[in-house]
A and B are shown apart, each in its own frame.
Chain A
Amino acid sequence: MSKISRRKFVETTGTGLVVATSVPLAVQEATAQEGSAQQPVAAPTPVVVPRTPVRLTINGTEHRLPVEDRWTLVEVLRDHLGLTGTKIGCDRGECGACTVLLDGKPVYSCSQLAVWADGRKIQTVEGLARNEHLHPLQEAFIEHDGPQCGYCTSGQLMSAKALLDHNPHPTMEEVRAAMTGNICRCSNYNRYVEAVLAASASEAVGRTA
């Protein structure tokens, strides 16, 4: 059944499994194997972190701001632009809660540096509805009880949007494969797949791409 493994999916989304800066290094170090009884002390940290001005077009609106080179895209969205609909579930490219569309492609925004997004178009869950008209996927997620706790929902929606944008009438297997990088620990996968298939069958879906 699985033509695309999760590892493969993660690789092909261009995010990889290694997060450039946002992995909590101290914890990694703290739990790494160590023979000595003493912890190494890091060198003094520079107080001034370089910033780079970037231009991000988010949900159709242009934002210009200077970002620290170590900031991830999700960090900028959530902490600096107030777009908290995109969630952080792992901050290490494993769960998909932070999925956004970057120039139309689904990416893990925890695994993208904000500077890499300079000059590019980003779509988040906040940009799905148009003038209070819900996207057919949002309607279907409500009707088919997609969100349980709802924390993975934004990411599920964005992956589903990317799928329907280039494949408006996917099979069940195609839905599962396209969304397998989005973990739902409530494990409401049946409902999400039902909802995406229902949305793909609705007439409106072709008009929202």
Chain B
Amino acid sequence: MIALKTVGHPASRIDALQRVTGRATYTGDLHLPGMLYARVLRSPHPHARIVRIDVSKALALPGVKAILTHENCDVVWGSGDMRNKRYLFNNPVRFAGDAVAAVAAVDRHLAEDAMRLIDVQYEVLPFVLDPEEALKPGAVEIQPGGNLSADNKGEHKPETYRHGDLEKGLREADQVFEDHYSSAHINNAQLEIRVSTAEWAGDKLTVYAATQGISMCRIEIARDLKLPLENVRVVCKYMGGGFGNKNQCQDSDLMAAMLAKKAGAPVKLEFTRKEDFIAVHGRWPTKQYYKVGVKRDGTLTAIQFRGYSGMGPYRKSSGDIAGVELYQCPNVEKLVYPVLTNMAVSANLRGPAYPQGIFGIESLMDHIAYELKMDPIDFRLKNMTRKYHDELPYTSFGLEDCVLRGAEAFEWKKRWHPPGEGDGPVKRGVGMAMGAFGAAIGRSSAVIHLDGRGQYELHVGVTDVGTAAKTTMALIAAEELGVPLAKVSVVSGDTEVCPYSVGESGSRTTTHTGYAVIQAVKDLKQQIADKGLPQGDEIRTGSATPDPATPKDTARYSFAAHFAEVEVDTELGHARVVKYLAAHDSGRIINPLTCASQVKGGSTMGIGMALHEELLYDAAHGLPLTAGYYGARVMTHLDTPEIGVQFVETEDQYGPFGAKSIGESSIIPSVGAIANAIFNATGRRVKDLPINREKLLEVLA
């Protein structure tokens, strides 16, 4: 790989100064003159019909300016459900936390006071939390048409993938393994609370949103409020994390806009932390059933997978369970049932379909290797995917190197031992797992200006959710221009002055918008070649909206292999990670400093998911019990080991300078690696996430 001048060298974030001095202006930091504060009243029941709602007492409170309920607001939140009509305020309410009313008042406390004066009469309905229970005959119907969410064609069928002949594959096997795994609902739990501030000027609307994509947010607000696109402006200058739950436009954006319209004043709508935990969305809980056929020498002959994803009552995303595609196998059948339940809504959280699915398949494959008396690494080298779905070649492929070089750096051979070996009570063990995540290229835009002083100003519609996207875009521009990074400033986070950008979801910003930056710079160079450098107050502008694609018969993926060593106290059931190595093929690394931070963060989040995070429910009442940082047990400083990071840079001819994706692939293998390390330490396997103290003690008993 040819070394580049700017790209590939560690660079501090161009906006780091703002972030360490408190000067970075996040959405909630904005204060508009005459602004009202708004709060949302939510359902205390997992499923109920609103028989009567009386807001008169609340409206009578001096200082209360507007109240919305299902009776006076029929706005449909388009991205709140891919299949059914989801209103901002629904009747019936379908989960504990479904919005019932929103109140705007002159101050926050008054809005809360008013909320308590709203009188709601509910007719309580039966509810169901478990996706398999929800599919049984006699289960309460949560949406018309049944609890198995409809597919793209509107048919209530599982999402299905098949190749080869499953029965033949199972017949050819020397041994068939069957097992099941499951995973919990966990919350994105980004630190920034959800805030939307909306302001109208005539029929023009500005929404200061906390969003992962200003362009999509704007398009969807315009669609849902039936406004011309040019009448909507979305601003998000600094963004405090989302991990998938601030994609698109949120109901808070629409509620703030409707309240502001009704009240005739700007409105800042804030969700509390508890609301964020129960009323937005988290990772879908899954139940996974596997049947795998294998030859005596370890060759896979068949993989059958049936999975159930609990989507909550509104289907916001696919509900897919990924992982089977990590393995080369001629006969595969995969059925996934996205099921409606009365739990909190489930949708995107960093690598939405992956860590829980990888946990399942990598636990089982680890188990098969153990039963066949093969080293887990050898088993994976023999069976890992080498073509996407056994069919399409990858544009670049670093999975094997991730496994080999990661294992070497981790000293796998030295650390691995037969499972359960050792006297205890504290036992050590190692585990590994693989991962792959798409690195698609596609449509986005960029504009770049050059002024007479020789300063470049890059306009890109990114918000920078913490990935260092602004810095990455500047580095790419500086490289293509052949100028120092300091010559490039970035304008971002405002649809008024930024062109369309793909949202910061799907780990696509570098590959999509980064590529558009290169094309815009090329256009600028052409302008300069044609008209010369700008003089005095002249300005030259380059722009591009490329829509690149990889050839139809190829697949473009990032790859990873993670290695973990854990210590399990077999008397207390306490597991902690003592050593960790993450090896990643993300093509060319644009900024090794911030890219490694992504890997460290994603791996750490995965450890939390593996060992303790869960939104627990009271099954008798259908109510969430652990809706907060303390109860959900997210990772803290003390829980976090040193995460080693190794980049395996493959040459890829697509994307900006051959860069692939990173943000999501960083969490994907981590959960499986931890689970397998616990097996290696104890000789026992916990098959239900999280692998907490209670479950460990149960299998160790």
Contact = CB atoms under 8 A, between A and B. Distances in A.
Interface in B120-145: 120-124
A25 B240 contact: no
| Majority secondary structure of chain A interface residues (helix, strand, loop or mixed) | loop
B638 A148 contact: no
Contact of A26 (B39, B189, B278): B39
Contacts of A181: 636
Interface string B103-130: 0000011001111111111111000000
Given A28-B274, A128-B21, A189-B635, A70 B109 contact: yes
28 contacts: A1-B576, A5-B638, A6-B636, A7-B630, A17-B630, A23-B272, A24-B112, A29-B44, A38-B121, A39-B122, A41-B116, A42-B116, A87-B240, A89-B273, A91-B193, A92-B273, A95-B273, A138-B20, A145-B12, A149-B190, A151-B192, A175-B637, A185-B191, A187-B601, A188-B597, A190-B642, A191-B597, A192-B637
Interface string A165-207: 0000000000111011111111111111100000000000000
Given A125-B22, A145-B594, 5 more contacts: A84-B29, A87-B26, A147-B19, A176-B638, A185-B634
Contacts of A33: 618, 621, 623
Contact of B278 (A5, A17, A31, A124): A31
B389 to A, nearest CB: 32
A86 B22 contact: yes
Interface size class on chain B is 35 or more
Contact of A27 (B42, B468, B635, B636): B42
A90 B22 contact: no
Interface in A63-101: 68, 70, 75, 78-79, 82-92, 94-95, 97
A149 B191 contact: yes
A152 interface: yes
B24 interface: yes
A148 to B, nearest CB: 4
Contact of B20 (A42, A141, A184, A193): A141
A142 B112 contact: no
A142 B23 contact: no
B4 interface: no
A146 interface: yes
Interface size class on chain A is 35 or more
B117 A94 contact: no
B44 A30 contact: yes
Given A88-B193, A97-B191, A153-B19, A32 B637 contact: no
A61 interface: no
A142 B273 CA distance: 28
Contacts of B639: 2
A150 interface: yes
B259 interface: no
A92 B44 contact: no
A142 B272 contact: no
Nearest to A195: B20
A154 interface: yes
| Majority secondary structure of chain B interface residues (helix, strand, loop or mixed) | mixed
A28 B604 CA distance: 30
Contact of B272 (A29, A91, A180): A91
Contact of B466 (A83, A175, A180, A186): A186
Given A138-B21, A143-B12, A182 B637 contact: yes
Nearest to B103: A26
A142 B20 contact: yes
Contacts of B188: 185
A137 B640 CA distance: 21
Contacts of B51: 37
Per CB-CB distance, the 3 closest pairs between chain A and chain B, nearest first, are A85-B22, A149-B466, A151-B240
A124 B22 contact: yes
Contacts of A187: 600-602, 604-605, 608, 635, 640
B34 interface: no
A209 interface: no
B16 interface: yes
A45 interface: yes
B419 interface: no
A50 B63 CA distance: 17
A146 B597 CA distance: 9
B374 interface: no
B9 interface: no
A91 to B, nearest CB: 6
Contacts of A124: 22
Contacts, number: 253
Given A138-B21, A149-B241, A185-B634, A41 B597 contact: no
B241 A186 contact: yes
Interface string B539-582: 00000000000000000000000000000000000001000000
A151 B656 CA distance: 29
A193 B637 contact: yes
Given A145-B593, A185-B243, A1 B44 contact: no
B232 interface: no
Contacts of A128: 21
A129 interface: yes
B467 A25 contact: no
B640 A151 contact: no
Given A97-B191, A150-B466, A25 B116 contact: yes
Contacts of A83: 22
B97 interface: yes
B628 interface: yes
B638 A177 contact: yes
Interface string B223-247: 0000000000000001111010000
A30 B19 contact: no
B180 to A, nearest CB: 29
B43 interface: yes
A110 to B, nearest CB: 10
A45 B109 CA distance: 11
B637 A149 contact: no
B29 A189 contact: no
A189 B20 contact: no
Contact of B638 (A2, A27, A49): A2
A141 to B, nearest CB: 5
B275 interface: yes
Nearest to B25: A84
A128 B21 CA distance: 8
A24 B39 contact: yes
Interface in A1-28: 1-2, 4-7, 17, 23-28
A97 B190 CA distance: 11
A152 B240 CA distance: 8
Contact of A85 (B21, B31, B112, B643): B21
Contacts of A89: 191-193, 273, 629
A26 B115 contact: yes
A113 to B, nearest CB: 13
A145 B21 contact: no
Contact of B640 (A41, A154, A189): A189
B57 interface: yes
Interface string B151-165: 000000000000000
B497 interface: no
B624 interface: yes
Contacts of B16: 141-142, 145, 147
A126 interface: yes
A157 interface: yes
B699 interface: no
B700 interface: no
Interface string B56-96: 01000111000000000000000000000000000000001
A111 B30 CA distance: 22
